[in-house]
Amino acid sequence: MKLVICEKPSVAKAVASALGVTSRADGCFEGNGLIVSWCVGHLVSPMDAAGYDPGYKKWKYDDLPILPEPFRYVLAKGKEDAFQNLRHLMEREDVTELVNACDAGREGELIFRLVYEMAGCQKPFSRLWISSMEDAAIREGFQDLRLGAEYDPLYQSALCRQKADWLIGINATRLFSVLYHRTLNVGRVQTPTLAMLVDRDSKITMFRKEKYHHVRLTLGGAEAVSEKIAAPEEAEALRAACAGAEAVCASVTREQKKEAPPRLYDLTTLQREANRVFGYTAKQTLDYAQSLYEKKLLTYPRTDSRFLTADMAETASVVLHLAAKVPPFDGCGEFFPDVSLLVNDKKVSDHHAIIPTLELEKADLSELPVGERNILLLVCRELLCAVAEPYVYEAVTATFTCGGQTFTAKGRRILSEGWREIDHIFRASLKEQPEGEAEPAALPDFTEGQLFDQVEAAVTEHFTAPPKAYTEDTLLAAMETAGKEEMPEDAERKGLGTPATRAAILEKLVAAGFVERKGKSLIPTKAGINLVTVLPDTLTSPMLTAEWEQKLTAIARGEGDPAAFMAGISDMARELVKTYSHISEEGQKLFAPEREAVGLCPRCGKPVYEGRKNFYCSDRSCRFVLWKDDRFWTSRKKELTKKMVADLLKKGRTSVKGMWSEKKGAAYDAVVVLDDTSEKYVRFKLEFPKRKEGVNGR
């Protein structure tokens, strides 16, 4: 009997159905010599620091660095029953081997292995590695189960990633939180990502726009533009020289250009495009794609490949024709797809590019939630575009001389829309059109030496533009290259995080209050900017962090040394603690809580702030203070509130309802008057609407 362990119940149900395991039992499906059960995500987690030593509950500098050896694990809270169910199934005498059917990736490997280790299981296990949840793909995967040991390097990579995140997260967070007296969440990948956002925000803030000018000539039904001119008087002089003068066409160049069709989506490019077109966050796109995968309509989404393998060509051809029947693509007309454009075995590692599945034929897209339908249509469009003809156009550049200067006009003549015809049909079907750059219009047929009389000339004023704030689209691109502006297409990527983890990283930054969304833009908050300001390069450098990520990838391929990797991370933690033992007074001010003055001190005129037990004057030499537990208030069973103090400081009085009289055993309303005589203690007195005489009290 084989025990098949999936990552979640919905996947287990699909696997059981595909394999004909129809009998539902407690916590599993059983039949056909198989038991199919499930985890609920991560069932086993690294132990918290306090689990190693109760003294670690309190954050202290002297305890750092915390470097557990060995690492210990605990059951995730609330998931004990799921673990006990799996352990019970593993221990059944009729279970002779296991199948790891968790997601085919680094985290899926870790989820299964930690449960296997925690349960103390020693039975042999194999690995199900599939890229589609279609019944046929599941059955084929079970016909080709792989040895579990083949994925030991992937498991080691996952362990190293988890331990590194723990070591840097725990030690750096505690270190800088203790030094700055407030919780500062530091993460191995999220902090350099935040640093890129802060760097871009700084460039925008420091940017100083500069004015420049163009002189524009209108001639022969087109517009020709001068080079940039800084001085307005120089631009005006050129305009005056050209207005009504003669212009000559000095040259006309025509160059045929081709724009190859786009490649298929990997997860990052799908997330970027969905953000551009629909405004979806990276997490939303991943959630929609994952749901479509579990509904058998999309292949595995957490991939970094944009190609298919040669053995998929026949299936891809069938899927192509299915996609061409899906509205709005059913209006594309005849086209002759070149499936070979999709295939490159060398550029497919664990999973191929994202494409629809054969289930598309039976799918009713109108029944899908809007977000899922949009993502599926986006993937269909990309598949159809990827096999279409190139977009071909003629780029035309004409230069003109007038007033002793050269002017340029550029245009474009479309020769073949190619793949862009499909893209136009898709975009026309959208309710809201995504932003895009206007394309150059076609130019008249200018000829060299052609003369133009009485040309019109005008000066236009322009300003240099600041860098644009990151959107999820552009930040994902920057994370993929660790902030490098340009990277050769075939270069080995040294990115921040992985396609599967980047969405979660962005959400953590937002949840921690370090980043906020403003429209499509991602803007660092003051807390985020201050955090990056005080942290060292070892924690904020995108390239250094990308080097660590590359080492994790090497470990997963069996080419890296896990022990050396962890030694490097431990050394980094030790060096951080050794280097940062105290901070400057200026540094402390960065994280001083922003205080709002309640009012002005009646004695010295300085701001009065609220403390935990009182309201106090900000001038330490001034002794003005209002105590929250002053007997005047406690004896009357009233709490001195911020609003009451604001009234007392501004008007000298505040109306209070429901004060208690011990003598009469009843509540009453009165006006409390601030009767400050500049003595050690502040006094109050009561006034009643119908009684002018005061009752003194403290």
Phi-psi region of 33 (alpha: psi -120 to 50; beta: other; left: phi over 0): left
Annotation marks residue 212 as catalytic: no
Name the token pair of 670.
């009165």
- For residues 332 and 283, give the distance between their C-alpha atoms in angstroms, rounded to a whole number: 31
The CA-CA-CA angle for residues 126, 128, 132, to 5°, reads: 180
- For residues 476 and 270, give the distance between their C-alpha atoms in angstroms, rounded to a whole number: 11
Nearest to 379 by CA among 360, 392, 361: 360
DSSP character at residue 387: T
Q: What is the dihedral of CA 526, 532, 534, 535, to 10 degrees?
A: 150
First to last CA, the chain: 82
Instruction: For 95-128, give the secondary structure using H, E and C.
Output: CCEEEEECCCCHHHHHHHHHHHHHCCCCCCEEEC
Give the bridge partners for 442, in sequence order: none
Contact, 11 vs 50, CB < 8 A? no
- For residues 315 and 343, give the distance between their C-alpha atoms in angstroms, rounded to a whole number: 12
DSSP character at residue 356: B
Q: Is 522 helix (H, G, I), strand (E, B) or coil?
A: strand
Write out the H or E segment, with its range, that includes residue 402.
strand 391-402
- For residues 532 and 172, give the distance between their C-alpha atoms in angstroms, rounded to a whole number: 13
- For residues 228 and 24, give the distance between their C-alpha atoms in angstroms, rounded to a whole number: 74
Q: Is 656 helix (H, G, I), strand (E, B) or coil?
A: strand
Catalytic hit among 155, 293, 300, 393: 300
What pairing do the DSSP bridges indicate for beta strands 2-6 and 34-38? parallel
Name the token pair of 417.
């829309």
**H-assigned helices in 72-189:** 80-91, 106-118, 135-143, 152-180
Rg (CA), the chain: 34
- For residues 631 and 517, give the distance between their C-alpha atoms in angstroms, rounded to a whole number: 48
Give the bridge partners for 28, in sequence order: 25
Q: Is the dihedral of CA 457, 461, 467, 469 positive or negative?
A: negative
Q: Which amino acid is at 140?
A: E
Active site residues per annotation: 300
